[in-house]
Amino acid sequence: MIGRITVSGIRFHAYHGLTKLERQVGVRHKVDVILTADISKAAKSDSIDDTMDYRAIHDLVVRVGRENSFHLIETLASRICGEILRDFRCDQVEVSVCKETPVLDGILDTVGVELVMTRGDIS
């Protein structure tokens, strides 16, 4: 039984971007994660040990987001995907990263990137 486990709306302040302001003052980021995995064992056992712990996924995303400073959110999304695939029993992960307060001359809500990775994509 293949399931899609979602953890969405993870928010944190971080220092990713090309501009000096983004790298010194930072901006708020929002990350959504979807993991594709066989959930049949968890569905039968009703045990957290047989599925993805949402708290651990949340903690990983926040840790990667706060402990690093990348020029591109594509790099942030790739790093989050890679660590999730290494740390969790899933076949595929989808990550959406948005800057909620982008530093641009104009008015817009967010800028973002979506990335899909499978086990074959990590080295």
Q: Which single residue is written with the structure tokens 């599925």? A: 51
How many Å apart are CA 74 and CA 68, to the nearest integer?
13
* 30 is a catalytic site residue: no
Cα torsion 68, 72, 76, 81 to 10°: value is -150
What is the tens place of the pLDDT at every residue in 52-96? 999 999 999 999 999 999 999 999 999 999 999 999 999 999 999
Burial group, residue 115, by CB count within 10 angstroms (0-12, 13-18, 19+): middle
Of 18, 8, 4, 27, residue with least CA distance to 114 = 8
pLDDT in tens, 37-57: 999 999 999 999 999 999 999
Active-site position among 20, 30, 44, 99: 99
State the residue range of the domain holding 100.
Answer: 2-121
CATH number of the CATH domain containing 103: 3.30.1130.10
What is the number of structural domains in the chain? 1
